[in-house]
Amino acid sequence: MVKVIVRAFSISLDGYGAGPEQSLENPLGVGGRGLHEWLFPTRTFQRILGKDAGTSGVDDEFAARSFENVGAWILGRNMFGPIRGPWPDEHWKGWWGDNPPYHVPVFVLTHHARPPLQMEGGTTFHFVTDGIQSALERARAAANGKDVRVGGGVATLQQFFRAGLIDECHIAISPVLLGAGEPLFADMNLVALGYRCTQHVCSPAATHVVLTRQG
């Protein structure tokens, strides 16, 4: 059975999944980089950068697990880029350069249609204009029996949580305050939606929790 998962989604102590004022200069919003300090030094992340180095341990285990058995991704549009409204042209191809770190089909939620975009290394961006259920159907079909990973951001996760579509969600709580941004848990009752915390492990850099939908 294809699972719908969230992995390595980082939030601040005050619950923000991204800083305010995302822009080309601040893809993660102002201060948002601090959310991911647990991830950057890991062996898994350093390998993505092409380096044969990095830390092992709890943080790396969660980083590695986040890429295991992922057959397709779903991203909110802001995770794909800083452009809002209609696409001015087809110049913007994501934050990640010619060879994005996905290597599978990626379904980008947007209100503005655009032809699929084939990148190097197996990543193809598909632009889905008819909502999360449609994106999920297409992602499931493309995932080839593997899991569908919903990458974020907060608005996208909230839509999926509210529809009861997330099976399992790993969150890394980083020891930083952001003060403002997008609050992951606002106006969303995860208990009523059937979730509980099924794993809780800490490193000096983050608290890792797994939320699982019961029944």
Using the rule CB under 8 A, is 1 a contact of its own copies?
Answer: no
Using the rule CB under 8 A, is 31 a contact of its own copies?
Answer: yes
Strands in 147-152's sheet, in edge-to-edge order, are 117-118, 124-128, 105-109, 70-76, 147-152, 4-11, 168-173, 207-213, 195-202
- 68-87 residues in contact with its own copies (CB under 8 A) are none
Instruction: Tell me the two tokens of residue 63.
Output: 């980083």
Q: Is 106 helix (H, G, I), strand (E, B) or coil?
A: strand
- 190-209 residues in contact with its own copies (CB under 8 A) are 190-193, 195-197, 200, 202-204, 207, 209
Using the rule CB under 8 A, is 91 a contact of its own copies?
Answer: no
Using the rule CB under 8 A, is 175 a contact of its own copies?
Answer: yes
For the stretch 23-29, contacts whose Cβ atoms lie closer than 8 Å and that sit 24 or more positions apart, written own/partner, are 23/82, 24/82, 27/82, 27/95, 29/178, 29/181, 29/182
Using the rule CB under 8 A, is 116 a contact of its own copies?
Answer: no
Using the rule CB under 8 A, is 57 a contact of its own copies?
Answer: no
Which residues contact its own copies (rule: CB under 8 A)? 13-15, 31, 171, 173, 175-180, 183, 185-186, 189-193, 195-197, 200, 202-204, 207, 209, 211
